[in-house]
Amino acid sequence: MAATSLTQKQLDAIKPTDKQVDHPDGMVRGLALRVSPGGARTWVLVTRIPDEGVKRIRLGHYTGKAGEHASPAGDQFPSGLQALSLKQARDEATRVLALINAGRSPSKERTTRRQQAAVHAERGSVSDLLAEYIAYREKGTERRAAAGTRQIAEWRRITAQLERDAGDVMAMKAKDVEPSHIVALLRPIFHHGIARPKKGRGSAGRRATSGAQGSADKVQTFLGAAFAYGLSSEHSVARRAVTVYGLVHNPVGPVPREAKSTPGTRVLSAAELRQFYLTIDQAPKVGPVLADLLRFTIASGGQRTHQLAREPWTSYDRDTTVVTLTDKKGRGGVPRPHMVPMSKRMLAILASVAAYTGSLEYPWATNERSHVDIASPAGAVRYWLQSPFAMLDGKRIAPFTPRDLRRTCTQMMKAARIPDELADRLQSHGVAGITDIHYRNNPELYLPEKRQALQKFDAALAKVLKARS
């Protein structure tokens, strides 16, 4: 016989027995109230699912207060945890039957959800992504050189700072991060600045009152590079890491760059360059090695001071009059040899410094352990600028940096009508490219041209140094 429609009065009168009993409802086919011996009352839907047979789907537990709990909405199968009155149970059963008639299966969808949850649980957090990116850059690849120790240390410092200040975002799954989260990380740095150590390097200006736009820009660059790595490397067969991120976009991309770029434009006049070159060794706190390094930088046509400082004596061949530098500038930072001819002026400076460091590994050194710190030349320039020698016509010379010396040499080569391409070759600037890497990759081939450029530059420098004040 067909089951009669359940009523509220019938439901209230049902008592538990020593067996589990289903009380079917005649209004919605397959709907029943299951009563357990312990008194639990559960709404179930008994129906046939194609390819699966007869299944019992738990809809929720029974409550006698009609309308107290809302029926679940949407196109998902019920969890079975919600409280349903008689009317709500009928509505829910009707909704579920419609999903099944549309070809859907609650058991298959539960399996899919469990698999997705397992994958999501395995997906790496922002912290995981940053740590993997740092490890990748520290090791390097054939196409991209390993990052320097200072850069790696800086990235680790930034990561530790973000962990302290924004641990909730760092713990998020990387795939869930949106541009709004990146803004939340950067805004405090941009507007409020960052604390600096009270003593030692970097202690000037304890906290920037107007924020730290430059620091925010560096953090933004780091985050953008890490997410870009995650996007491109996750499906790489060469990648050893097994962490899954599931990234579909780079959340840093839409965030605009707010830091103002301040490219250097300082160029020393002929009088300023002459005064600096001739008196740098007389400034307080500037030793002869640093003074000769800065002079050598100028005499070499404006080579990068830190590249000169890092090379040992073995790189300075005084017989062939060539110094071979290791250049990591350019996309990927892949090291390549940069051969620089040495003029008589440069050889004389090397002979001078050899009296102090000839027995050491590095020409530009103040101890037996290593070469001078790459920040030392900038400090020497500052000491000179504070000395009585940084005066011309009763006026103090405007501040400049070792990088400005390189720019000054570039302008001198332009004035000496040295072709831009030759000047760039001499300074190892802007000459990387697929053709140079694969077909013009012998640095010795350019030595004759570089010598011609250096000779013209040295002649121009001689005129500057011999000119009267």
More confident residue, 243 or 322: 322
198 CB contacts (<8 Å, ≥6 apart)? 206
| pLDDT-derived band at 465, boundaries 50, 70, 90 | very high
Q: Which amino acid belongs to residue 107?
A: S
pLDDT of residue 51: 86
Tell me the pLDDT tens digit for each residue of 223-245.
Answer: 999 999 999 887 777 777 777 88
Tell me how far apart the terminal alpha carbons of the chain are, to the nearest angstrom. Answer: 120
Task: Give the Cα separation of 418 and 465 in Å (integer).
Answer: 19
pLDDT for the residue 250: 95
Per-residue pLDDT, 297: 97
Residue 79 pLDDT > 70, yes or no? yes
Query: What whole-number percentage of the chain has pLDDT above 70?
Result: 85
Query: What CA–CA distance (Å, rounded) separates 147 from 222?
Result: 13
Residue 196, pLDDT score: 47
> Distance between CA 267 and CA 404 in Å, rounded?
6
In terms of Cβ atoms closer than 10 Å to its own Cβ (0-12, 13-18, 19+), residue 244 is middle
Tens digits of per-residue pLDDT, 192-204?
755 444 444 444 4
Distances (CA, A) of 430 to 311, 410, 437: 22, 13, 13
Mean pLDDT of 444-469: 90
Q: What is the pLDDT of residue 261?
A: 57
Residues 155, 225 contacting (CB under 8 angstroms)? no
**CB-based contact 194:212 (threshold 8 Å):** yes
Rounded to 5°, the CA angle 301-306-310 comes to 110
Q: Report pLDDT for 277.
A: 97
Would you say 227 and 252 are in contact if contact means Cβ atoms under 8 Å apart? yes
Mean pLDDT, the chain, rounded, equals 85
Tokens encoding 151: 């850069």
pLDDT at res. 74: 64
Query: Are the C-beta atoms of 250 and 225 separated by less than 8 Å?
Result: no
pLDDT of residue 469: 47
Q: Which residues, 6+ apart, have CB-to-CB distance to 391 below 8 Å?
A: 397
Residue 122 has pLDDT above 50, yes or no: yes
b/e 93-112 (16+ beta carbons within 10 angstroms → b) = bebbbebbeeeebbeeeeee
* Highest averaged pLDDT of the listed ranges 96-110, 183-197, 380-394, 419-433: 380-394
Q: Among 44-58, 293-307, 432-446, which stretch is predicted with the lowest mean pLDDT? A: 432-446
Q: Which residues 6+ apart lie within 8 Å of 249 measured at CB?
A: 231
What value does the mean pLDDT take over residues 167-184?
92
125-128 LR contacts (CB < 8 Å, sep 24+): 125/170, 125/171, 125/172, 125/173, 125/174, 126/169, 126/170, 126/171, 126/172, 126/174, 126/177, 127/159, 127/163, 127/170, 127/171, 128/174, 128/243, 128/245
Contact yes or no for 458/345 (Cβ under 8 A): yes
Q: Give the mean pLDDT of 292-306.
A: 96
Residue 386 has pLDDT above 50, yes or no: yes
Q: Poorest-confidence range of 5-14, 34-43, 56-65, 298-307? A: 56-65
Average pLDDT over residues 42-63: 90
- pLDDT of 369 reads 87
Q: Residue 437 — very low, low, confident or very high, per pLDDT cuts 50/70/90?
A: very low
Given a cut of 50, whether residue 206 has pLDDT beyond it is no
pLDDT, position 204: 44
What's the pLDDT at 109?
82
The model's confidence at residue 208, banded by pLDDT at 50, 70 and 90, is very low
